[in-house]
Amino acid sequence: MLLSPVPATAQGIPQNIPRKELLILENPEGTIKNAGWFNIWAINAGSQSNGLQQAALDTLWYIDPEKGLDGAWDNSLAADKPVYNADFTEMQVKLRRGLFWSDGVEFTSADVKATVDTQIKNPGMRFSAVLANNVASVETPDAETVIFKLKKPNSRFHTNFTVRWGAIWILPKHVFEKVEDPAKFDFNKPISLGAYTLHSFDPDGKWYIWQLRDDWQRTSLGRHGKPGPKYLAYIDPGPPDKRVIAQLNHELDVIHDIAPEGMFTLAKQDKGTRAWFKGFPYGHPDPTLPAVIFNTQNEYLKNRDVRWALALMIDVKAVTMAAYRGAATISAIAVPPTGIHPEAYHKPMEAWLKDFEIDTGKSKIKPYDPTVGKQIADMLRPSMGDQIPSDPAVIANSFGLGWWKPNVAAAGELLTRAGFRKQGNQWLTPDGKPFVVRLMVEGDLRPVMTRAGTMIVQQWKQAGIDARIDVAQGTLLTRRAAGDFDAFIGWSVETWGGHQDLSYFMDSWHSQFVAQPGQPQPLRNWQRWSHPQLDKIIEDIRKIGFDDPKGVELGRDYVKLMTSEMPIIPLMAYNVFTAMDQTYWKGYPTADDPYANPVTNWGNSRYMFVRLKPAN
């Protein structure tokens, strides 16, 4: 009896729920240790990508990394954009009315104030530090108005309440005000402000099921229409091979991410599977920028000539083949080729890049090759056939524009100018030692980037550098913060994607925040790089509004500086191979209809719920 022919795969489908009403999505966090924790405001408390942030929580604004349902910017709990005073020390927000928590209590400005006050009063909570550092007080003159009085000017304070991947979610005052210690409260069962509420979950953390609220119209998502799926199941389907099997058996509708090979298998074997791009390169380009990130506090890597020399030794075509089997969107500039950025930065800067010149001391070269994206497409066409686009615009969108032409001779001239010398095929440092560069990679925790790093090390070795792979595995976060590396593959550039403002990552690059060697480096300046010109750009951005067109001009100044200084070598967008099965549901976001980020752990992915319709 035990061997009765039931369909296999993950754990099958949730029992007692009609499949045609159910959307099954991957929770990339895997199995959740403390499954019964839903207090997202406490640190390390349970899962957040189990549907909690996508389906049940809400906050003031969203910015989609793509085009959005009605523009990338979405006023969610807020009725309009934030309004700052002249010196950015006060932010006023008007809230929507008629929105209700799932227990029937109306959402008001008191919830927003409680979200801030509760966390400031409890230093161990997730956003306590950022709120305590910024907020002097919160005033609520009426139920639909919130006024944040800030301790110092901050033209980007609203971004804390703006979903990119997540944000500061609004907590229910009427629940938390009765709790003795909010940091140790499990919030089980969670009260929802989103369109779904918790139906059931696995105490062992493998699955969570959410059910559409009967009063979904009384949520911020309601104005976009009725969500298609009545139930959402966020599951841990296991490693990539099992995800592929599960989708082939139509028991996992949306895979968050798989290896390129898994994506190719699905595309070949399951005609119902759809990825972001209909054909090659399939993956959704994340608004992050994998790059070779130098530790510019390293004695030799302080020198721009050395960094540029290492860049000119790389053939990015081989790197994309090694990492993604060619399914990558390259970027020569320090902005990911995602969302609005190709229009705001990449295409407008093509002319400048073509003219960009490096003086090696012995010659002047123009390193930019605008045809690299096209070369990658041409290289793949013989084996991939019709899957490779031929329209130049589509090629640029899918594979990127140009990159740096490998030029080992010019690289040698730069190294020579920096005091290095070559002995046989080996580059020696100015003090006569072999030039060792350890390139740290995460290992099998992030295989695509590890493969890219391995290829780059091979290319540097061929050019005479004593390059070595340094596999960090689980120690990467600690070592990255401590600056314990020469270079590593990762990202220090993370953008909104759907909005051109670059302050999201750039502000912490100001020299005031660059840590001394050995001290932990604050977020997103792992290269520990500072430059007076960069400081000036950051300070100018701080003084203008989020939507000020001058922000794009400053962003382009930043790109020029990054290009000439090369503190990181930009490689490509972080492509996420999100596979969507159309057997039960249709209307997924794609490159042809980019209304939302499809990646299942992003808060923005909630927008797909209102566009999904039963396939039959």
Binding flag, residue 33, other proteins (CB under 8 A): yes
Residues 163-182 that bind other proteins (CB under 8 A): 164-168
What are the angstrom distances between the C-alpha of 556 and each of 236, 341, 343, 559, 560?
Answer: 41, 11, 12, 5, 6
Binding flag, residue 237, other proteins (CB under 8 A): yes
CA-CA distance, 464 to 312, in Å (whole number)?
13
Q: Which stretch binds other proteins (CB under 8 A): 40-48, 270-278, 379-387, 581-589?
A: 40-48
Binding flag, residue 207, other proteins (CB under 8 A): yes
Among 159, 197, 329, 360, binds other proteins (CB under 8 A): 159
Binding flag, residue 240, other proteins (CB under 8 A): no
Q: Which stretch binds other proteins (CB under 8 A): 231-239, 395-403, 456-464, 535-543?
A: 231-239
C-alpha radius of gyration, the chain, whole number: 25
To other proteins, the closest distance from the beta carbon of 66 in angstroms equals: 18
Please, which residues bridge with residue 570 across strands?
291
Give start and end residues of each alpha helix (H) in 177-249. 240-248
Contact 599/352 with Cβ under 8 angstroms?
A: no
Q: Which stretch binds other proteins (CB under 8 A): 29-37, 138-146, 311-319, 339-347?
A: 29-37
Q: How many residues does the chain have?
A: 616
Closer to other proteins by Cβ: residue 166 or 290: 166
What are the angstrom distances between the C-alpha of 96 and each of 83, 100, 355?
Answer: 15, 10, 50
Contact 544/550 with Cβ under 8 angstroms?
A: yes
Binding flag, residue 183, other proteins (CB under 8 A): yes
Nearest Cα to Cα of residue 459 among 321, 357, 359, 563: 321
To other proteins, the closest distance from the beta carbon of 552 in angstroms equals: 18
Q: Which stretch binds other proteins (CB under 8 A): 90-98, 309-317, 384-392, 504-512?
A: 504-512
User: What are the tokens at 432?
Assistant: 């006569």
Binding flag, residue 56, other proteins (CB under 8 A): no
Among 329, 397, 503, 604, binds other proteins (CB under 8 A): 503
Binding flag, residue 184, other proteins (CB under 8 A): yes
To other proteins, the closest distance from the beta carbon of 512 in angstroms equals: 8
Among 25, 26, 37, 305, binds other proteins (CB under 8 A): 37
To other proteins, the closest distance from the beta carbon of 65 in angstroms equals: 14
User: What are the tokens at 205?
Assistant: 């953390």
DSSP one-letter string for 14-52: -TTS-GGGEEEEE-TT-S-TTTT---TTBTT-S-STTTI
Among 113, 173, 206, 218, binds other proteins (CB under 8 A): 206
Contact 307/529 with Cβ under 8 angstroms?
A: no
Nearest Cα to Cα of residue 77 among 182, 172, 213: 172
Residues 377-436 that bind other proteins (CB under 8 A): none
CA-CA distance, 470 to 111, in Å (whole number)?
47
To other proteins, the closest distance from the beta carbon of 481 in angstroms equals: 5
To other proteins, the closest distance from the beta carbon of 206 in angstroms equals: 5
To other proteins, the closest distance from the beta carbon of 419 in angstroms equals: 33
Residues 505-524 that bind other proteins (CB under 8 A): 505, 507-508, 513, 520, 522-524
Single-letter amino acid code for the residue at 175? V
Q: Which stretch binds other proteins (CB under 8 A): 118-126, 272-280, 413-421, 432-440?
A: 118-126
What are the angstrom distances between the C-alpha of 476 and each of 290, 472, 483?
Answer: 15, 5, 10
Among 10, 23, 52, 150, binds other proteins (CB under 8 A): 10
To other proteins, the closest distance from the beta carbon of 613 in angstroms equals: 24
Contact 199/232 with Cβ under 8 angstroms?
A: no
